[in-house]
Each structure stands twice: as C-alpha cells, then as structure tokens.
Amino acid sequence: MVDRDESVRLMAAKFRASMAEHLAEPPWKALLKRLQDASPEFREVWARHEVLRPGDKVKVFRQAQVGTVRVTATSLWTGPNSGPKLVAYTPADAETHERLERLHALVKEGGPALSGRGS
C-alpha cells in the first residue's frame, strides 16, 4: 500500500463512525480498549476524533511487474453498514486499466514470479 499513513487515519475514522452506533455495547468497548492498549499509533490517530462514513475510495498499490495501479474500491453492503460487504476494485484511470490488462496477460502466461512456481 502506497499511502499507509492515510489509510490508517481513514480506517480509524471509519471505525469511530461505526462505533457511534454501538457505544453501549461491551464488545465494541473491549475492541477499542484492545486497540488502544496494543498500538501507540492507534491511540494517536484515535485522539484526533475524526469521523468518516464508509464510501468509495481510490486505493494506490505498487505492483512489481506492472508498476503503480490506482483502483476505485466500491463497497456493496449486504447487511447493516457495519455488517458484511462485498468490495469491487475497478481501474481508476486508463493507465491502470492498461497495467491490469498487462498483469492479467502475465498471469495467463504463467510466469514463475506470478504463478508461485518459482525456480
């Protein structure tokens, strides 16, 4: 993941938004305490009090064979917002579309670095 710090910040803000619906529930309180006890980084991000509702987001990845790819992550909630979801990743731009097509072709060719059949 290219923007790790931003991703951590956004995950904490989304968790805060989700937690608002479960403030009185002991399992949610226990999870928050475990996260705060386990991670100084989480405590720092949590102290910012940011809130963000889940939504579409462009994610950026570095892929060894084709380079940087930018995909839009779109969530389809199969239950309540804090429940199960299906995430679809689609190319965010034409360059990424071309790179993903190239990556797909490499996988179909069965190159050792991609197939897990290293030498």
- Which residues, including other chains, have CB under 8 Å from residue 55's CB and lie 6 or more apart? 75
Give me 7's structure tokens. Answer: 């991703």
**Residue at 112: amino acid letter:** P
Q: What is the dihedral of CA 33, 39, 41, 47, to 10 degrees?
A: 10
Q: Mind listing the pLDDT tens digit of every residue in the chain (119 residues)?
A: 677 888 888 889 888 888 888 888 999 999 999 999 999 999 999 999 988 776 678 889 999 999 999 999 887 777 766 678 788 999 999 999 999 999 999 988 886 555 444 43
Q: Are 3 and 10 in contact (CB under 8 A)?
A: no
Residues in the chain: 119
Question: Please, are residues 70 and 92 in contact by the beta-carbon 8 Å criterion?
Answer: yes
